[in-house]
Chains A and B, each alone.
Chain A
Amino acid sequence: MTTYRIALAGNPNTGKSTLFNALTGLRQHTGNWAGKTVERAEGEFTHNGKTFRVIDLPGTYSLYSNSADEEVARNYIIFEKPDVTIVVLDATSLERNLNLALQVLEMTNRVVVCINLMDEAAKLGIRINLDRISERLGVPVAAISARSKTGIEALLDLVEKVASGRIVPVPIRVTYSEEIEQSIQKLEPFIRQTLGDLFPARWVALRLLDGDGSLLAALKEHAGESAPVKEVVNYGQTVCH
């Protein structure tokens, strides 16, 4: 039986944990991320006969490694490469929430966008054109209400399709200013040469241009881990590589 790994990303207060609980029920356990004081919640559920291991990433407003939370979330998506990342958005403040979705889409195309709190939005008279958003983002979009558990089946269908490769999203590409774009172009070949195709070169270029020292440190750490000569499972290394 196939087991897929799913990550839940999203801003704080979007009902991400409500969704996590709705998905996993009692089949979950919590702990800390290795070496961090950030809580790590992991659980399991089945859908259409497939098993999904789902990890609830810390709620963050961005993935620019401003804090330990953001670092944990970013490192998981980049280094652990989940089969699908569900980005949970708050329907009542979609515009602000979409920023995080765009940042995730720069890191991976295996994304399903999940717009939560649809009932609240309806109460406030907010009408959301899901097809249009899906079209613009280039990834499947599901609308749910985690609290009343509506729309979750449809969400999971999409998640399964992306996980199994039946849907291959082609995400939107944010165009930056000419200056930034030129720098990205200069860096990209250099990045491919150094890191191979393990990481999205465009995203790495952006992070490096932003002077993200913590990413550099994380890359070095993982370079050490994955070097063939050092085939030792270190303490603190996650099992599901």
Chain B
Amino acid sequence: MAKPYATNSSNSLDSLFAAAAKLAEGNSIRDGIVSDIYKTTHEICRESVRYEDRKKLETTYRLDKIVTSPIWGFPIMLAILGVVFWITIAGANVPSEMLASMFTWIEGYLTAGFQALHVPEWIHGVLVLGFYRGTSWVISVMLPPMAIFFPVFALLENFGFLPRVAFNMDRLFKKSGGHGKQALTMSMGFGCNAAAILSTRIIESPRERILAILTNNFVPCNGRWPILILLASLFMAVGVSSQYQTMVTAFIVMGMVLIGVAVTLAVSWVLSKTALRGIPTHYTLELPPYRKPQFIKTILISSRDKSWNVLKRAVLVAAPAGVITWILGNVDVGGTSVLNHMAAFFDPFARAIGLDGFILMAFILGLPANEIVLPILLMGYMSTGAMVDADGLDNIKQIFLDHGWTWLTALNTMLFSLLHYPCGTTLINIYKETKSVKWTVLSGVIPLAIAIAVTFAVAQTVRAFGWV
């Protein structure tokens, strides 16, 4: 046990504190203390530390001066992001086509085999048209972009670029009333929102932490990159001459990211002026030295941990979903399939926000994981009898076009995917972290309200001007 204090009443401690406050005269002496300490350490180091080669030390500083400069910081960030998207989109097209035609080729043999064995038509429907086709779509559409995007992103990460992004973003977050570390948790969100929610533990102040949790959903995660990249490349660069198409697509995806970041900042700002009022607390962000990434290792690890896992999750959920969707699409009630009944139910509302019943249903059924929204949507469309030979991206586009898609539908689907509620895992994590039903519900409802408002506004504006 410690000895008791000389005087044991808390009154005397209070009067001591008051006496000190009086001496300080309300001035903040912290700056004085800190600068005297710095002066001392500077002196000690001048006497005892010798640098043989200052240039070697300065490479990092020189690079950081440019990369984190107020003028060049953002253009460089955007340029790098743009290049990453460009590489992904340009590189994914050909392997996607190849995979798709390979799967179609196999499907032909499967169907022939089923027919040769006189398997009942409905089993062929469930297994080949539902299960097999659904799974192969997912693989051919999602695997190539993921196999390129994730390793490239991981290389950037290992090079040490992400802390610089956080450094640049910090200024904006401070201005919007959030914590600088929110830039870091947001960067995590580009990988996985559920993991990013856990990463908000690094923010001490409960107010700023809730802010970071509520807005994390607005950056696209692993599960949403494929739908953004696919729709952008199918629909958004149509009017452009072919040599610029990839570039325009990359710009569109980058635009989506920027919209997400803008919404993050705007929502943070509004919340910090209303429900979560307060002054941002300070923090120190250390910029680690740049490192030459280990290319092979990074590519292998990110392929295994990210590309493969996302794909596995998509396939695992998509395979049974394919079967269920096929059954729903082929069981008739009153002359129309159950699936059509469901889609028809959502249709009027969905039309108002520029989507259709199937898209909205895919988003609702996709609550457990964003990866499965696209597969459910495709299977929903295919099960409605629109039999298309599945041998390439053009035909995916044909499926969409057959169901009345325009560039507005694609744009609003992308916007909705970007802004709508976080996935089930993320919501569970939010509840676990906040232990509050209120904040969990709000973290679903706020994004949903914004998603509906934005898509509604876009749809109505575009239609009012007669652009579609």
Contact = CB atoms under 8 A, between A and B. Distances in A.
Which of A69, A187, A209, A231 has the largest count of B CB atoms less than 10 A from its CB? A209
B37 interface: yes
Nearest to A195: B5
Contacts of B57: 124-126
B24 interface: yes
Interface string B13-39: 110110111011000111011101110
Interface in A204-222: 205-206, 208-211, 213, 216, 219-220, 222
Contacts of A154: none
B8 interface: yes
A127 interface: yes
Contact of B2 (A172, A192, A198): A198
B204 A67 contact: yes
Which of A79, A99, A194, A213 has the largest count of B CB atoms less than 10 A from its CB? A194
B53 interface: yes
A108 B423 CA distance: 50
Nearest to B23: A183
B10 A186 contact: no
B46 to A, nearest CB: 9
B286 interface: yes
A194 B269 CA distance: 46
Interface in B49-103: 49-53, 56-57
Given A194-B7, A205-B20, A220-B13, A175 B36 contact: yes
Contacts of A195: 5-7
A132 B43 CA distance: 12
Contact of A226 (B1, B13, B20, B30): B1
A177 B30 CA distance: 12
Given A176-B33, A209-B23, A228-B4, A61 B284 contact: yes
B41 interface: yes
B243 interface: no
Interface in A155-212: 172, 174-177, 179-180, 183, 186-187, 190-196, 198, 205-206, 208-211
Contacts of B21: 208, 211
B37 A222 contact: no
Nearest to B20: A208
Interface in B258-310: 281-284, 286, 288
B150 to A, nearest CB: 26
B41 A210 contact: no
B201 interface: yes
B24 A209 contact: yes
A55 to B, nearest CB: 17
B49 A226 contact: no
Interface residues of B, number: 50
Contacts of B56: 124-125
Given A12-B286, A132-B47, A216 B17 contact: yes
A196 B48 contact: no
Nearest to B39: A174
B44 interface: yes
A125 B51 contact: yes
Nearest to A93: B286
Contacts of B29: 180, 209-210
A64 interface: yes
B16 A99 contact: no
Contacts of A211: 20-21, 24, 28
A98 B281 CA distance: 24
B49 A94 contact: yes
B57 to A, nearest CB: 6
Contact of B50 (A99, A127, A130, A226): A127
A41 interface: no
A144 interface: no
B417 to A, nearest CB: 33
Contact of B204 (A68, A227, A241): A68
A212 to B, nearest CB: 9
Given A129-B48, A209-B24, A64 B30 contact: yes
A107 to B, nearest CB: 13
A128 interface: yes
A99 B37 contact: yes
Given A136-B48, A194-B6, A226-B5, A174 B16 contact: no
A46 interface: no
Contacts of A132: 47-48
B388 interface: no
A34 interface: no
B20 A198 contact: no
Given A124-B56, A226-B5, A174 B40 contact: yes
A222 B40 contact: no
A209 B56 CA distance: 42
Contact of A133 (B20, B24, B44): B44
Interface in B310-351: none
A43 B56 CA distance: 38
A203 B44 CA distance: 21
Contacts of A179: 32
A136 B36 CA distance: 16
A22 interface: no
B215 to A, nearest CB: 21
A215 to B, nearest CB: 9
B20 A209 contact: yes
A30 interface: no
A228 B8 CA distance: 10
B24 A241 contact: no
Contacts of B48: 128-130, 132-133, 136
A108 to B, nearest CB: 15
Q: Which 5 A/B pairs are nearest by Cβ-Cβ distance?
A: A125-B52, A208-B20, A196-B6, A132-B48, A98-B41
10 contacts: A12-B286, A67-B281, A98-B41, A103-B37, A126-B51, A180-B29, A195-B7, A206-B33, A223-B10, A231-B1
Interface of B: 1-8, 10, 12-14, 16-17, 19-21, 23-24, 28-30, 32-34, 36-38, 40-42, 44-45, 47-53, 56-57, 201, 204, 281-284, 286, 288
